[in-house]
Chains A and B, each alone.
Chain A
Amino acid sequence: MKTKLYGLMALMIVATMILAACTPKPTAQPTAVPTEAKTEAPVVTEAPTEAPTEAPVADEWANVDPTGQKIVFWHQHTKAREAALLEIIDEFNKTNEYGIEVTAEFQGSYSDIFNKMLPILNTPDVPDLVVAYQNQAATYQLADALVDMNSMVNSPKWGLTAEEQADFFPGFFAQDVFPNFGNARLGFPPNRSMEVLYYNLDWMKELGFENPPATPEEFKAIACAASQTPFSKATAEGSHGYELSIDTSRLASWTFAFGGDIYDYENGVFTLNSQAAIDSMTFLQGLFQEGCAKLVTEDYGDQTDFGNGTLMFAVGSSSGLPYYQSAAESGANHAWGVAAIPHTSADPVMNVYGASVSMPKTTPERELAAWLFLKYYTGTEAQAKWAIASQYFPVRASVAEGLTDYFASQPAYKTAFDMLKYGHFEPPVPGYDFVREEVNLALAAIADGADVKTTLDALNATANDILAEQMAQIKK
């Protein structure tokens, strides 16, 4: 009886394997890759110079009809940003002449969206548009799951004119073009933000410092002074110079500020153990060891402490400006500002990032309809609304020009915006999410006192192993 039972179980397992083997193959093959794929870190400049892409010979979208398509857009925005996005979508739904109807669906954080997307790539369950960081888009494209938007952007009938393309900040516009995937455009930027240094101006003055720190030495002096002398207006107990949140972007920002990079774009390898990375992490570790810095222990704990006047410095995204403002207003109500990350280089180097909107493959009609919404969303009118409501940076120069009043009312936003010209990006490579997990562990270990060079050497080896594994999936 037992033998029969085992036989039956074995038979069922074999049957399931045969059934599984019969599942359909992905419909499309990944795009070819140029043999000498070289990525240049896009430089963000204030004024665009020329249209970065060339118009194609034929318009493959000319005869596609987007009329009546229903489009689903997966995003991560909440509260005021979600409301603004819904308003833009509502306006588009009412005014577009093709009867296209866009539905926005909140799908959790960036990571949640990424995790939801992976199992459904190349299936009918994908949304028409999805928010994605460049490295996430690169991962999706390993399955050839995204539309290369170059032909849409350059379509004479549906695309952007040369002038319109030139209106985008070149660094932002080029950031979604992937040399590893044959220069395919795998995303389109609706906004960007930047890592900035938040400082408590009133407390700094109390300690005898007039200006925010420009160099690591100045930063250390103020942070250490603050950790010993509490702020007079603080609404909670404690006195801390700097709180480090364990996040790869912090390591990248500090490395950039120390004149280095975490990725070698020429050779396509991580350089997480570069001298600049070692120096910056040694600097941070020193702050911890001297009691001038501590770790962020709760989600957004640095914002809370900053608002309460118990934290002098925090480094975070400029998209957090409204939250810092609100924390300060409801806390110690102190004057505060943003500045460049203290740097050893002559000019600051700022970590600019931001998720773009990618387009999973569906049908030509839906893809075109999705593009028309994206074109609207990144148009001057919608961008102006979006920039003010979200406090993200607009991606078009003409929109920035129209924000004069807003700049005047939001000096911190203006300060950050003016630093865009010093922008630098984190690498848009597949598998970067996994690398970030490893970087976070290394950063935590360094903060805990681990040997910086040994830790970063091991981290770099692991990161390059992960990268090599990921790149091996791109079919030649």
Chain B
Amino acid sequence: MNTQDQSPGKPRRSLISQWNHLKEQLTAYLFLLPSILIIGIFGLFPIGYAIYMSLFNWRVTKGGFLGFDNYDKIVGDWGGLLLFLLGVALLVAAYWLWTSAFRSSSRGVVVAKVIAAILLVAVGFLLAGGWGRLMAGGDKKFWTSMMITLFYAIGTVPTQIILAMVLAYLLFQNIRGKDVFRMIYFLPYITPVVSTAVVFRSIFSPRETALANTVLSWFGAGPLKWLFEPRPFSQILFGWNIEGFWAGPSLALVTIILFGVWTFVGYNTVIFLAGLGSISKEIYEAAEIDGANAWGVFRNVTVPLLSPVTFYLFLVSFIGTFKAFNHIFVMEVPSAQGTVATASVEIFSIFYRANNYGYAAAQAIVLFLVILGLTFAQNKLLGKKVFYG
């Protein structure tokens, strides 16, 4: 029996089916059109336009075409950039080898991998010396602002996520007035950031009578200059006289980090609470039956099952800290001597004070690429550790 249908109705049916399929596709695209237009006009077009601006000597008006000169001014030493990126890549490779080594069962392979990883870490650090070449040959203020941004991100994100997770866990228990606490923790997030930043400025004023200094005096400590202090936190706290990257953030930046944590911890707590709500109670009951104590349950049940939420918050917070502007702009004072000027603040300054739109656009694109790279790296490195149940 011929399996092929030779009936004359078949091609017609096929045509109808194709038409229906096309109609479905068109309908789908039609539904997508509004969002494509919105994303295109308000999302992609500005990015494209910023790239376009960055290629010109665009001051108050558009000047001559510069090609990649603005980028060249930022980087200065492309060899340095290459070295730096290579260093970062090797660090990532070292991390991968290191984690693989601990998963391997063969003792010889483990030793070799561990040694290789340690070597690679060393090489990575050496190559990161390319950073020095970037600072020397490129736009020192911009690269310094990137370093400050990194300090801000590292200081803010892990602290607020850990605090939020703990708070969420506590608020998830059956405690009296937990709804009030939820609201209180969420308040800083919904209060206009400019006004709270102004209040923080007053709390962390260098005056002896400022609230922060009054609290310090209760413990017998002398007043600090807080937002006016350009010296590294490590120097003030431990008396270390380290310079450059390893000196860490200034006390002024640490104060702003405190503000960042205070503002966003409530938001993160609410997201974690939603995540906790989605964990099945049966798992907790099973853990209890197996004799797990509270810490064991938190460590082995709650934390892993919250990992998708943690990963999301980590990603979003990291991007947020790299774009942070408003509160830093409000809290920045000249006495901090530029130690709190994150990349966004520096770009704003180049845009509005120096009126160098083209160069500011190039800086913004570099910042965009850095955020993109970091997000990609986070996705690759941390994404695998997420437990989706």
Contacts and interface: CB of A to CB of B under 8 A. Distances in A.
Interface stretch (B14-22, B151-159, B162-170, B352-360): B352-360
11 contacts: A12-B48, A13-B47, A16-B47, A20-B45, A20-B49, A118-B60, A142-B61, A434-B354, A444-B337, A473-B59, A473-B63
A440 interface: yes
A21 B52 contact: yes
Given A12-B44, A142-B61, A440 B334 contact: yes
Given A13-B47, A21-B52, A431-B355, A246 B335 contact: yes
Nearest to B355: A139
A20 B48 CA distance: 8
A143 B355 CA distance: 11
Interface string B300-344: 000000000000000000000000000000000111111000000
B334 A443 contact: yes
A326 interface: no
Contacts of B59: 142, 470, 473
Interface string A112-150: 001100100110000000000000000110111100000
Contacts of A440: 334
A16 B48 contact: yes
B60 A19 contact: no
Contact of A295 (B47, B53, B335, B354): B335
Interface residues of B, number: 34
A17 B48 contact: yes
A444 B341 CA distance: 15
B353 A433 contact: yes
A114 B353 CA distance: 9
A437 B207 CA distance: 24
A121 B51 contact: no
A145 B356 CA distance: 17
Nearest to A246: B334
A47 interface: no
B355 A297 contact: no
A26 interface: yes
B208 to A, nearest CB: 8
Contacts of A237: 209
A115 B352 contact: yes
A154 to B, nearest CB: 28
A164 interface: no
Contacts of B205: 297-298
B353 A20 contact: no
A448 interface: yes
B369 to A, nearest CB: 14
Nearest to A438: B353
B195 interface: no
A17 B336 CA distance: 39
A297 B207 contact: yes
A443 B338 CA distance: 12
B355 A118 contact: yes
A13 B207 contact: no
B233 interface: no
A448 B337 contact: yes
Contacts of A115: 352
A297 B61 contact: no
A145 B45 CA distance: 26
Interface in B203-226: 205-207, 209
B80 interface: no
A329 interface: no
Interface of A: 9, 12-13, 15-17, 19-21, 25-26, 114-115, 118, 121-122, 139-140, 142-145, 237, 246, 295, 297-298, 430-431, 433-434, 437, 440-441, 443-445, 447-448, 466, 469-470, 473
Contacts of A118: 60, 352, 355
B79 interface: no
A143 B335 CA distance: 33
B335 A447 contact: yes
Nearest to B336: A444
Given A16-B49, A17-B48, 20 more contacts: A12-B48, A13-B47, A15-B48, A16-B44, A16-B45, A16-B47, A19-B45, A20-B49, A21-B52, A114-B352, A118-B60, A142-B59, A237-B209, A246-B333, A297-B206, A298-B207, A430-B355, A441-B334, A448-B230, A470-B59
B349 interface: yes
A140 B45 contact: no
B70 to A, nearest CB: 13
B49 A142 contact: no
Interface in B29-61: 40, 44-45, 47-49, 51-53, 59-61
B32 to A, nearest CB: 13
A142 B51 contact: no
Contacts of B353: 433-434, 437
B375 interface: no
B228 interface: yes
A441 B209 CA distance: 25
B48 A13 contact: yes
A434 B346 CA distance: 12
A448 B352 CA distance: 27
Nearest to B53: A20
Contacts of B48: 12-13, 15-17, 19-20
B202 interface: yes
A472 B296 CA distance: 68
Contact of B337 (A121, A431, A445): A445
A437 B352 CA distance: 11
Interface-central residue, A9, A21, A139, A448, by most chain B CB under 10 Å? A448
Nearest to A450: B337
A17 B51 contact: yes
B288 to A, nearest CB: 46
Contacts of A26: 61-62
Contacts of B45: 16, 19-20
A219 to B, nearest CB: 22
Contact of A431 (B336, B349, B354): B354
A288 B73 CA distance: 38
